[in-house]
Amino acid sequence: MLLRHTPKEIVERGALTINPAKTCQPVGAMYAALGIHRCLPHSHGSQGCCAYHRSALTRHYAEPIMSSTSSFTEGASVFGGQSNLLESINNIFTLYDPDIIAVNTTCLSEVIGDDLKQIINRAVVDHKIPPGKTVFYASTPSFKGSHVTGYSNMLSAMVQNFAGNTGRRHNAVTLLPSFIEPSDMQEIKHIAFELGLDYIMYPDTSGVVNAPMDGKFHMYPKGGTSKEDIARSGDSRLAIAMGRIGAFQAAQLLDSKCKVATEVLDLPIGISATDAFVDTLRRRAGVTIPESIRVERGQLVDVLCDKAQYVYGKKVSLMGDPDILLGLVQFAKDMGMEVLHVLTGTAAGAKWERRMREIAGEKAVIKTGPQADLFYFHQLLQNEKPDLLFGNTYCKYIARDMDIPLIRTGFPIYDRIGHSYFPVTGYRGGLHLLVKILDAFMDRQDRDAPEETFELVM
Ligand code: SF4
């Protein structure tokens, strides 16, 4: 009943967004910054912005997310936020002692036109930054883009500020993941480890936003990539961007700044995308595929073969973040599903749409950008109802209204737990995801079956 006013008839809209399928840029920038060891994200804007960014991340990860704010009031809004940021930098290093402060801008500071480079230079000149400490920034105006764009901008700022080319190449491969869960970052490291790959990965939020409870408060958990490793990435022989929207820009910058050869891949979600990731590492890094990885792949294929009848031919609709969607849609096609709708609030661009079209097929409705919102998604579903939905927590209203099972994927997930600990990337993540999909279909079959076809063995 919550969505009873959503009409079935679709009217094209030029400007209005109703229930956006995205969050704001600084949320992604903060998340990326948390993937550097002993880094404190700082939001250059009003307290309200920072409170929203923190609460989005805190609710999603069920962890206390540390960040600070320039706390703009009326004065800063009129005269600019330089004095606020200078005072913030001084206070943060005095009270919280991070090694790095990663500043993200907000709508307000962008509209005012604060020159962050100049302000940080001023902090250096005024000796507000202690020796060995670093302050850097990413521009993240949220009147455009999304949390994925913000993540990408912060990742590029890491390359810009830390990666250096010393002229002495080493063998490590740099892995640049798009906006994915800490469990997914852990899974990618697991694959790299099993392959015996010498690698650097950043950001790495595993061990930061899914750190174990040990009874003590850790302002800076053990996880996160060191700034020394990020600096070393400039001498890598190869960088692999895992995600066309969240990671490619940083890889391009690493190439232009440090002359590191780059390759862009889809996120390794499901069988074919993980095959492509593993095979690229095998070819480009000269490693062999060990038995352990073959076993993981074989187990995923085995379960899929055992239960293919529950997924084959089923209709699915997906909303979420562009890089994750490419992986999920590939996995859906791997399983013989029919993809009806793919929608992301991030303006992913023509190249992404072409790639998605290649995977999803001619019949799928694909829409990106501000008007690709949840209102439109609901309308699409009313016109052609799928058997299964993939999306974030906000999709639960649509799922309830239309009585469609929902697999929670992407960001944010406020009403379930587990995404921080159980991956969707790699073969093991694919198995986890497949089990969730099968559970959804089998639970539905059990719920709807008349007594004479209610099965014990499925
Ligand atoms: S959209 Fe802009 S004003 Fe709103 S919370 Fe994000 S940065 Fe702040």
The residue whose CA has the least distance to atom 2 of ligand 1 is: 107
3-state secondary structure the chain: CCCCCCCCCCCCCCCCCCCCCCCCHHHHHHHHHCCECCEEEEEECCHHHHHHHHHHHHHHHCCCCCCEECCCCHHHHHHCCHHHHHHHHHHHHHHCCCCEEEEEECHHHHHHCCCHHHHHHHHHHCCCCCCCCEEEEECCCCCCCCHHHHHHHHHHHHHHHHCCCCCCCCCCEEEEECCCCHHHHHHHHHHHHHCCCCEEECCCCCCCCCCCCCCCCCCCCCCCECHHHHHHHHHCCEEEEECCCCCHHHHHHHHHHHCCEEEEECCCEHHHHHHHHHHHHHHHHCCCCCHHHHHHHHHHHHHHHHHHHHHCCCEEEEECCHHHHHHHHHHHHHCCCEEEEEEECCCCHHHHHHHHHHHHCCCCEEEECCCCCHHHHHHHHHHCCCCEEEECHHHHHHHHHHCCCEEECCCCCCCCCCCCCCCCEHHHHHHHHHHHHHHHHHHHHHHHCCHHHCCCCC
CA distances from 55 to 49, 66, 223 (A): 10, 10, 21
Ligand 1 pocket residue status of 420, Cβ below 6 Å = no
Name which of 243, 167, 235 is nearest 203 in CA terms: 243
Amino acid at 21: A
- Residue of minimum CA distance from atom 4 in ligand 1: 49
Q: What is the pLDDT of residue 434?
A: 98
d(CA 225, CA 241): 16
**Cβ of 68 less than 6 Å from ligand 1:** no
Q: Per-residue pLDDT tens for 32-66?
A: 999 999 999 999 999 999 999 999 999 999 999 99
- Given a contact cutoff of 8 angstroms between Cβ atoms, the answer to whether 455 and 321 are in contact is no
Q: Which residue has the tokens 């990435």?
A: 233
Residue 258 a catalytic site member: no
User: Which domains are seen in the chain, by residue range?
Assistant: 25-161 (3.40.50.1980), 173-285 (3.40.50.1980), 308-451 (3.40.50.1980)
Of 104, 106, 144, the residue with max ligand 1 atoms within 8 A of its CB, to mutate for a pocket test, comes to 106
49 lines ligand 1 (CB under 6 A): yes
Predicted pLDDT at 5: 85
140 CA distance to ligand 1 middle (Å): 10
Q: With a 6 A CB cut-off, is 107 part of the ligand 1 pocket? A: yes
Give the global pTM. 0.97
10-residue stretch averages of pLDDT, the chain, 458 residues long: 84 91 97 98 97 97 96 92 97 98 97 97 97 98 96 98 95 97 98 96 97 94 97 97 97 97 97 97 91 98 97 98 98 97 97 97 96 97 98 97 97 96 98 98 97 94
Give the angle 247-249-251 at the CA atoms, nearest 5°: 70
Instruction: For ligand 1, say whether the CB of 152 is within 6 Å of any of its atoms.
Output: no
Q: What is the pLDDT of residue 345?
A: 97
Alpha-carbon 374 to chain mean position: 19
Query: What does the alpha-carbon distance between residue 79 and residue 30 come to, in Å, rounded to a whole number?
Result: 25
Q: What is the mean pLDDT of the chain?
A: 96
83 CA from centroid of ligand 1 (Å) = 21
Task: Indicate which atom in ligand 1 lies nearest the CA of residue 43.
Answer: 7
Determine the pLDDT at residue 353.
97
Q: Which of 27, 103, 142 to mutate to test the pocket of ligand 1 (most atoms within 8 A of CB)?
A: 142
Does residue 145 line the site of ligand 1, with CB under 6 A? Answer: no
Task: Respond yes or no: is residue 107 known to be catalytic.
Answer: yes
Distance (Å) from CA 371 to ligand 1 centroid: 18
How many Å apart are CA 146 and CA 320, to the nearest integer?
Answer: 11
Q: Both tokens of residue 456?
A: 């014990």
Query: How many angstroms is it from 235 CA to the middle of ligand 1?
Result: 37
The single residue of 111, 124, 295, 435 carrying the catalytic annotation is 111
Instruction: Assess whether the C-beta atom of 109 lies below 6 angstroms from ligand 1.
Output: no
Q: How far is the CA of 145 from the centre of ligand 1 (A)?
A: 11
Please indicate whether residue 141, judged by its CB atom, sits closer than 6 Å to ligand 1: no
What is the predicted pLDDT for the residue at 32?
98
Q: Which residues lie below 8 Å from residue 166, measured CB to CB, with a gap of 6+?
A: 234, 235
CA of 49 to the centre of ligand 1 (A): 5
Q: What is the pLDDT of residue 423?
A: 98
Ligand 1 contact via 23 beta carbon (within 6 Å): no
Q: Is 142 in the pocket of ligand 1 (CB under 6 A)?
A: yes
Q: What is the token pair recorded at 391?
A: 């999306």
- Expressed in angstroms and rounded, the spacing between residue 439 Cα and the centre of ligand 1 is 38
Please give the pLDDT value at position 38: 98
Q: Which of 114, 119, 155, 162 is nearest to 138 (CA)?
A: 155
C-alpha 408 – ligand 1 centre gap (Å): 25
Minimum CA distance residue for ligand 1 atom 7: 106
- Nearest ligand 1 atom, CA 46: 8
